[in-house]
Amino acid sequence: MAKLFLGLDSSTQSLSAVVIDLDARKVVYEKSLNFDQALPHYKSHNGVLPNRDPLVKHSSPLLWAEALDLIFAAMKKDGVPLGKILAVSGSGQQHGSVYFNDRIAAALEQLNPQQSLVENLRGVLARKTSPIWMDSSTAVECAEIRKKLGGVKYTASRTGSDAFERFTGPQIRKFCKTEPDAYTKTASIALVSSFLASLLAGKIAPIDFGDGAGMNLMDIRRKVWDMDALKATAPNLKKKLPPLAASGRVIGPVSAYFVNKYGLNPEALATVWTGDNPASVIGLGLIKPGQVAISLGTSDTFFGTMEKCQTDADGEGHVFGSPTGGYMTLICFKNGSLAREKIREHYKIADWKKFGELVAQTPPGNDGGILLPWFEAEIAPRVNKPGVHRFNLDAKNAAANCRAVFEAQMLSMRLHSQWMNVAPAKIYVTGGAANDRALLQVLADVMNCRVLRIEVSKSAALGAALQAAHGWLTAAGKNPQWDKLIAGFTDPVPNSEIRPDKKAAKIYDQMLEKYAACEQEALEPN
């Protein structure tokens, strides 16, 4: 009998499902539901509710619950053998928080399959909407928490990250300050991941170490709630939080709601969910310390894995618990494809093939020309005021500027990931720009290591399915090994390897210091 496992991923804009056949080593089913299209009555735009304040970004937790019903209905309609699923796990967009009153536990235990999940949840929310990762309205609360914990370096060393606007702790603090009565009536706080895991398990689910670290509330080394951080955030917060647990740990059998309504296997195990970034670590095959993946998308994201916890004293990077044990690191560079596209548009370059040809016309190191392409405020380094800076670079020279944007982005990644003390032997790349060989060659040369392309369309949902398999095997006493578990699911694209040019690598070794000096000069107040 095939061993089938279900992974779900509730991202900002959609809910995705992936079913894997572990014995056949393949994905046997994929499905995605776009929130705006499938659930238009919530009036969300790209999964976010409209708000007069551009800094406030909330979503409806009922939208996520209704989407869960819809995707199970779709799987049933599509003939997915739900009765043969052995375990379910999942991931959710990080940092989104859901607030319940004291009726939640009873409601979860008594989910009625004759009603929808939304109907079952009527009257249990202490707050109608959920602040999500895009919310940047908590700068004041971040400053207050940071001050109470002793500054950027101490906050990061304690919780894994500096206090960030999109993190859950500052969101909770703002809620407590602005709606004190509603906060007092809040009996339980969940993340997107633990909320959906709770629905599947029919009981309040733990928060895992990966997503828990995205709250500025967890002691990153001991993996327990940090009492000083809790006190710095809001009163009586410990009572309102579920316990912390390892990703993929079995909570219990799935709720009878899903068994009776959709035909899910009554013996299927519900496991602890994680955040979408930690789940992607599995889906991209990053299971050993020192492995690195880069997602080249709207923002460029640098993922690393490490055994022992190291934190960023400058507070630019993040450390989360990894679902495979140990830690994962994440650095987000906001000016990713956005900056590359701005350069292409400015010089009226027809397509990326022509862009790559112009890069090839210029030498590695660009004759000393450096560009800082901060078209938007940047996270790493911290740039609050957008601006494009050129050093020894002619703004009229299209080819030089094409190379300069590639070099700047890769040198910035190398510079701002040094705190991890990771020297990767190879880097896996994914995302929209991963097909651009000219960009990948610059990446290989700057990092002086092999670059391999990996095509995983739903890396978080795949990671969740593999996490479900790991949880089920562990519960069965099988002691599963991650490298064997992911084999066949996360292999690089054949013949996609790009090797560094040794001469170019030496040039970039010398250029890194100059790039850092240019960054520092641009960041100094006038």
Domains in the chain, CATH or no CATH each: 4-279 (3.30.420.40), 286-453+494-526 (3.30.420.40)
Angle subtended by helix axes 61-77 and 192-201, to nearest 10: 50
Pair type for strands 426-430 and 292-296 = parallel
Instruction: Render 357-381 in DSSP notation, one character per residue.
Output: HHHHTS-TTGGG-EEEEESS-BTTT
Q: CB neighbours of 511 closer than 8 A, spacing ≥ 6?
A: 365, 407, 411
Nearest to 445 by CA among 389, 508, 400, 382: 508
Q: How far is the CA of 443 from the CAs of 186, 333, 387, 413, 450, in angstroms?
A: 48, 15, 24, 9, 9
Question: Which tokens in the block code for residue 426?
Answer: 């190879």
pLDDT at position 434, please? 87
Q: Which residue has the tokens 């050993």?
A: 288
Sequential DSSP letters for 393-420: --TT-HHHHHHHHHHHHHHHHHHHTGGG
Q: Cα 218 to the chain's mean position, in Å?
A: 17
- Three-class SS of residue 142? helix
Q: What is the DSSP string of 201-256?
A: HTSPPPEEHHHHGGGT-EETTTTEE-HHHHHHH-TTHHHHSPPEE-TT-EEEEPPH
Q: Is the pTM of this model over 0.75?
A: yes
pLDDT at position 103, please? 98
| Beta strand pairing call for 292-296 and 300-306 | antiparallel
3-class SS letters over 58-89: EECHHHHHHHHHHHHHHHHHCCCCHHHEEEEE
Give CA 222 to chain center in angstroms.
22
The dihedral over CA atoms of 127, 130, 136, 138, expressed in degrees to the nearest 10, equals 30
Mean pLDDT in each 10-residue stretch from start to end of the chain (526 residues)? 94 95 96 97 96 95 98 98 98 96 98 98 98 94 98 97 95 98 98 98 98 97 98 98 97 98 98 95 89 90 91 93 93 92 96 96 97 93 92 97 98 95 88 90 97 85 97 96 94 93 97 97 85
